[in-house]
Amino acid sequence: MGENTVQLSDANFDAEVLKSPVPVLVDFWASWCGPCRMLGPVVEDVAKDYAGRLKVGKLNVDDNPTVSANYGIRSIPTLIFFKDGKLKAQSVGAQPKEMLKAFIDKNL
């Protein structure tokens, strides 16, 4: 976990994401998922680039089945953008940094 990302869990999801005063990008991932490992450094870079404007959190789907089930996560990596406590946009699969930044900019 990078210094610019928040470790999310079933226990802290409401406080960190749904009640966040700033928009939140949540990376749903698992340690055994190859594309998740490829996307990880991209998510870290984006967290650094958007510090202060966007909170970036990572949620391990294996360790946190409740939140994963609530949002119908079927394939990973899945990125969900939350704004004002509501799901605003969703993206599935690894992607290059420029595509991820375009996804964020469109929803910020």
Active-site residue list: 33, 36
**Interacting residues of 20 by C-beta distance below 8 A, sequence separation 6+:** 55, 82, 85
Distance, CA of 77 to CA of 80 (rounded, Å): 10
DSSP-derived pairing of the beta strands 78-83 and 86-92: antiparallel
Q: Is the dihedral of CA 1, 25, 94, 76 positive or negative?
A: positive
